[in-house]
């Protein structure tokens, strides 16, 4: 069998390369923050030997606006427009979790119909975010056309959001106490038309991607995550499910009306980028099925918002809580501490990228070919603002 | 399968709980002495199967002179969470490092060091910047760091820009256009204008 001559590579000590950068044998490369192959505003400080990565450090902070600190200076209702900005492609999870935490601490029960609309909103945003990810993942392996299709179809979903909430990206729709308004007339029909378009583009993308030999060769065996690593690194979401771990917050700790919907946890046991691709394809179809179920079962009439105190003089009883939901990247959480005043004492956002893009990426990239690092980031589906909050 | 309450009771018997707060049926917070936290985390992970570290965070209780550090753990078998809390002195913020237990802890500790100035001796890459490159100031997430004052001191207004007091400006605008708004309202029949 062919054995690579590794005499020119630095020795490996405890999984880390033992190298001296001043020896001028190795090159330091900055991958990002202004780089099309990086998902979002983060940069990777790579040390390469030839075209093999021997060390990687993730740098975040290019988008740091101090969301958590900003929220400590604002009243509860003033914090609400900030939270959606923590994750641009999928802001609704933030809106829902912030509202859910505030409602739990202040003891507000939201009306039944608001729960259905919130779930619809969350699933629509999941579908949109998955489409955006698929475009990025395909683009990283040179399939730009899939990226164009997906981004175009995400735009149809954004149109629906605009119709529903008046805004395309930051909807600010799931306000504490319920939702801001009812669905517009004829929304169901237009939603169904978009779902059919999305179904077609997902099918087309599947044909283009899953039968592509080059993509298969590059994704199979890329970024292997064994089931043992899942708990060691705190891996969640489709990445854990790609390693055969059956975990989904929507099933394990059902919130809103997920317990009334019919769906299974989708898993694959390939443990690599290819398995994660297949899991996400399945989850996109699952989202479409869930949206259809919600539209079918949703009550036609009902209250949309609970009775709320005056938001400008709103004191939340002292206490602390943690709420979680399943985003496209996995478990998303909000930890909120109230001291009984009009301002939150502390809000911490738990984004799934925090572990995936920092410790996990740094660990997995050692020994990887330079050309695959963008693809590996793609399979991890990271959004940097939720790391640096 | 042990319930959350039984797990908390065992932790209480072995390590001693100073306070407990049950927020929901599936979420409790327990407070432990400073030096008991890391052994309790090991116990919860290995014996009680709270294998998933959800997050670590700190809360600044400036009036008591304390930081509260919270380690949130999740059990995938009985689907419950336990938040392990501890109070450390705000003036000498040193906490035992837990980076050997989960791989992602080192990042959290780096962040807490940068944002709150809490030191975790032995934690890897402690002195490296996390999000604030080139920051020379007090740890910004502490309550005594005033962001408004900092930005007033550090940045100046660009000349040639007109600013308004939002409250007064909105009132003026509303008074001026109030008749117009209502006539438009009637003509279109739109109540949401």
How far B183 CA sits from the closest chain A CA (Å)? 23
Kind of pairing between the strands at B27-32 and B80-89 = parallel
Nearest CA in chain A to B71: A335
Burial of A13 (0-12, 13-18, 19+ CB in 10 A): exposed
Number of other CB atoms surrounding residue A188 within 10 Å = 14
**Within an 8 Å CB–CB cutoff, is residue A265 touching chain B?**
no
d(C-alpha B149, C-alpha A354), whole Å:
30
How far B58 CA sits from the closest chain A CA (Å)? 9
Displacement of CA A41 from its chain's centroid (Å): 15
Contacts of A231 in chain B (CB under 8 A): 51-52
**Within an 8 Å CB–CB cutoff, is residue A66 touching chain B?**
yes
d(C-alpha B89, C-alpha B149), whole Å:
26
Enter the ipTM: 0.91
Mean pLDDT of the residues in chain B: 87
Cβ atoms A75, A314 nearer than 8 A: yes
CATH number at residue B105: 3.30.460.80
State the pLDDT at residue B92: 92
Number of other CB atoms surrounding residue B75 within 10 Å = 22
Kind of pairing between the strands at B27-32 and A27-31 = unpaired
d(C-alpha B93, C-alpha B90), whole Å:
5
Cβ atoms A216, A332 nearer than 8 A: no
A275 CB contacts (<8 Å, ≥6 apart)?
A: A242, A243, A268, A269
d(C-alpha A16, C-alpha A19), whole Å:
9
pLDDT in tens, B107-165: 999 999 999 999 999 998 888 888 888 888 889 999 999 888 888 888 887 888 887 88
d(C-alpha B176, C-alpha A109), whole Å:
40
- B57–A333: do the CB atoms touch at under 8 Å? no
Burial of A15 (0-12, 13-18, 19+ CB in 10 A): exposed
Residue B82: strand pairing partners: B28, B73
The answer to the question of residue B63 being in a domain is yes
Nearest CA in chain A to B142: A69
d(C-alpha A173, C-alpha A347), whole Å:
20
- B59–A337: do the CB atoms touch at under 8 Å? yes
- pLDDT higher than threshold 60 for residue B38: yes
Residue A31 φ/ψ, nearest 5 degrees: -105, 100
Nearest CA in chain B to A42: B131
Among A61, A232, A348, beta carbon nearest to B133: A61
In a mutational test of the A interface, the residue from B131, B144, B191 whose CB has the highest number of chain A CBs within 10 Å is: B131
pLDDT in tens, A87-107: 888 899 999 999 999 999 999
d(C-alpha A117, C-alpha A179), whole Å:
8
The answer to the question of residue B38 being in a domain is yes
The answer to the question of residue B190 being in a domain is no
State the pLDDT at residue B179: 58
Q: Which residue has the higher pLDDT, B174 or B79?
A: B79
Contact map slice: A 159-178 vs B, CB within 8 A: none
The pTM of this model reads: 0.91
The domains located in chain A, with CATH, are 12-59 (no CATH), 67-351 (1.10.645.10)
The answer to the question of residue B180 being in a domain is no
- pLDDT higher than threshold 70 for residue B187: no
Contacts of B30 in chain A (CB under 8 A): none
Helices (H) and strands (E) counted in chain B, each on its own, are 5, 5
Number of domains observed in the structure of chain B: 1
The answer to the question of residue B181 being in a domain is no
Among B60, B104, B131, beta carbon nearest to A355: B104
Number of other CB atoms surrounding residue B56 within 10 Å = 22
The answer to the question of residue B168 being in a domain is no
pLDDT < 70: residue spans in chain A: 1, 14-15, 35-39
Nearest CA in chain A to B57: A348
State the pLDDT at residue B193: 41
pLDDT in tens, B68-95: 999 999 999 999 999 999 999 999 999 9
Contacts of B57 in chain A (CB under 8 A): 335, 346, 348
- From A185, A165, A188, select the one nearest A175 (Cα to Cα): A165
Burial of A38 (0-12, 13-18, 19+ CB in 10 A): buried
- B106–A333: do the CB atoms touch at under 8 Å? no
Domain that holds residue B80: 4-157
In a mutational test of the B interface, the residue from A106, A107, A182, A231 whose CB has the highest number of chain B CBs within 10 Å is: A231
State the pLDDT at residue B184: 53
The answer to the question of residue B113 being in a domain is yes
The answer to the question of residue B186 being in a domain is no
């Amino acid at each position: 069998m062919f054995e690579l001559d590794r005499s020119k590579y630095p020795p490996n000590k405890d999984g880390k390369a033992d190298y001296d950068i001043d020896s001028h044998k190795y090159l330091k490369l900055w991958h990002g923050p202004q780089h099309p192959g990086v998902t979002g505003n983060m940069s990777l400080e790579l040390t390469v030997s030839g075209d093999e990565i021997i060390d990687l450090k993730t740098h975040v902070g290019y988008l740091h606006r101090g969301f958590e600190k900003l929220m400590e200076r604002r009243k509860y209702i003033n914090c609400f427009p900030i939270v959606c900005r923590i994750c641009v492609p999928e802001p609704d999870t933030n809106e829902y979790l912030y509202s859910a935490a505030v409602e739990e601490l202040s003891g507000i029960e939201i009306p039944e119909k608001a729960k259905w609309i919130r779930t619809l909103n969350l699933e629509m945003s999941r579908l949109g975010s998955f489409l955006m990810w698929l475009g990025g993942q395909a683009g990283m392996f040179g399939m730009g056309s899939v990226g164009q299709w997906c981004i175009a179809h995400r735009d149809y979903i954004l149109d629906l959001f605009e119709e529903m909430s008046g805004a395309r990206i930051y909807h600010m729709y799931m306000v504490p106490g319920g939702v801001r308004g009812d669905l517009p007339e004829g929304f169901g029909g237009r939603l169904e038309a978009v779902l059919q378009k999305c179904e077609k583009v997902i099918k087309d993308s599947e044909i283009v991607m899953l039968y592509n030999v080059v993509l298969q060769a590059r994704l199979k065996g890329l970024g292997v995550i064994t089931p043992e690593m899942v708990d060691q690194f705190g891996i969640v979401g489709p990445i854990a499910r790609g390693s055969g771990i059956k975990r989904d917050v929507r099933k394990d700790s059902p919130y809103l009306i997920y317990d009334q919907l019919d769906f299974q946890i989708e898993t694959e046991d390939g443990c690599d980028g290819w398995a994660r691709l297949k899991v996400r394809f399945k989850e996109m179809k699952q989202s479409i099925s869930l949206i259809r179920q919600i539209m079918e079962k949703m009550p036609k009439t009902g209250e949309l918002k609970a009775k709320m105190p005056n938001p400008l003089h709103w004191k939340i009883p002292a206490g602390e809580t943690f709420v979680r939901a399943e985003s496209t990247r996995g478990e998303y959480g909000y930890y909120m501490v109230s001291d009984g005043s009009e301002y939150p004492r502390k809000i911490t956002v738990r984004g799934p990228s925090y572990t995936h893009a920092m410790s996990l990426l740094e660990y997995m990239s050692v020994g990887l070919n330079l050309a695959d690092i963008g693809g590996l980031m793609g399979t991890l589906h990271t959004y940097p603002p939720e790391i640096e909050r | 399968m042990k319930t959350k309450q039984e797990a908390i009771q065992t932790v209480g018997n072995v390590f001693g709980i100073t306070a407990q707060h049950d927020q929901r049926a599936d979420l409790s917070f327990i407070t432990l002495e400073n030096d008991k936290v890391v052994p309790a985390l090991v116990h919860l992970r290995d014996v009680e199967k709270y294998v998933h570290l959800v997050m670590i965070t700190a809360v600044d209780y400036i009036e008591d002179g304390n930081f509260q550090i919270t380690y949130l753990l999740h059990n995938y078998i009985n689907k419950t969470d336990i938040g392990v809390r501890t109070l450390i002195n705000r003036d000498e913020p040193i906490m035992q490092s837990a980076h050997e237990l989960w791989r992602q802890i080192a990042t959290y500790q780096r962040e807490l060091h940068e944002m709150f100035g809490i030191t975790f001796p032995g934690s890897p890459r402690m002195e490296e910047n996390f999000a604030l490159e080139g920051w020379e100031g007090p740890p910004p997430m502490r309550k005594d760091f005033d962001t408004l004052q900092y930005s007033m001191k550090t940045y100046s207004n660009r000349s040639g820009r007109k600013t308004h007091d939002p409250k007064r400006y909105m009132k003026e605008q509303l008074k001026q256009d109030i008749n117009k708004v209502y006539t438009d309202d009637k003509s279109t029949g739109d109540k949401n204008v």
